[in-house]
Structure 1
């Protein structure tokens, strides 16, 4: 009994020390060490989404553009492995206000479905986050370690307008050719502007549970990610495949338009940036300049514990 009580006190002290060490407003310059925040995660934030559909972002013929994967991961065949099938994809920008590692911003690309060897060796078909940027090192490290999400760092510059619209420009740390990913690019890799319909007055509930009802499996299957050389120690490597079930829901979902003009973006003059990412006028091949999009405010976002198996 005394031993149990003693161990309980030790756990309480360790948890308190962890809380003291953890940052509350986390940035790449925060002095607190990167610590492990295990899955599952529950987060809050605002989500901006638009779809990739056959012929409109999903290629009818051929494969993916080079920019579908980060420069580091492109050097490792196991990190980009999988038979691309397309079908349905999505690009999202998320402003997390609450997470186990503090607030942060995120851009993620889900280019569609891929075929992979599953846990029993047979092929499974699932979506995957192929490229993703986040605004601070704590979520970059934990996303890679927990779920093989290939997070890299970027600066996010936001502006708002009087009609409820939002614009963002994203400057990655890995697109200038610097292997140490020490700072943002001079020009944006991605930029968009969201304009709500009816100034955002009309809001409805929406949940990714709807996809399951429609027979669409949103389970992410992520191959292992390589170790980076970044100055922040955020680009962790892994050696196993992992799957994770994400969820998103909001009672305040607004339809709107997303302007994807990349005028002035990185690579506009030459067609490529310093690491070989193609420049497209609307960011991604096949996309229009104006796209239908969603904004989910006060959203709850979840990431399950991973299922892990050897490659």
Structure 2
């Protein structure tokens, strides 16, 4: 019988992380005023929740790929999608926010949701990194 691996509880701060990072930028247009983020910016289950009600007001679209070589939860991969700047409902201030975060580690999902309120989901990866 296979026993499931116990999830590591790793509270912040996470220091001395070692990672390879690739960041890609694209400019989004705000000339049309606030608008919904591009298709697939949210998971299907999030599209109808309050999490997805904010409009994008422009700025940069950002895709971040991270290969964590060493972290409190071990080695894992992460992909973040930031569709642009959003207006915060209460203050009206603009800020960037990741609407999709995929990782290759259940430990990262658990700690990201618990300590940073990051909407992470596990996705299998066949990437082998620089090995």
Structure-1-length-normalised TM-score? 0.37
Structure 1 residue 138: Cα displacement: 0.6
Which structure is richer in relative contact order (CA contacts within 8 A, separation 6 or more)? 2
Match of 1:157 in 2: 126
The answer to which structure has the higher helix fraction is 1
- CA 1:132 to 1:59, structure 2 compared with 1: closer, same or farther past 3 Å? farther
Q: Which residue matches 1:114?
A: 86
The aligned counterpart of 2:102 is 133
* CA distances 1:175-229 after superposition (whole Å, capped 9, x unpaired): xxxxxxxxxxxxxxxxxxxxxxxxxxxxxxxxxxxxxxxxxxxxxxxxxxxxxxx
- For 1:30 and 1:153, locate their aligned partners in 2 and report how far apart those are by CA, in whole Å: 19
In the comparison of the two structures, how many residue pairs are matched? 126
* RMSD over aligned Cα atoms: 2.3
**Which residues of structure 2 form unaligned runs of 5+?**
none
Offset at residue 122 of structure 1 (A): 2.3
1:41 to 14, 18, 24: 14
- Larger Cα Rg: Structure 1 or Structure 2? 1
Once residues 81 and 37 of structure 1 are traced to their aligned partners in structure 2, the CA distance between those partners, rounded to angstroms, is 31
Q: CA deviation at 1:65?
A: 2.2
With the length of structure 2 as denominator, give the TM-score of the two structures. 0.82
Alignment partner, residue 24 of structure 2: 50
* Change beyond 3 A, Cα 1:30–1:44: farther
| CA deviation string 1:101-120 (max 9, x = no partner) | 11100111011110113xxx
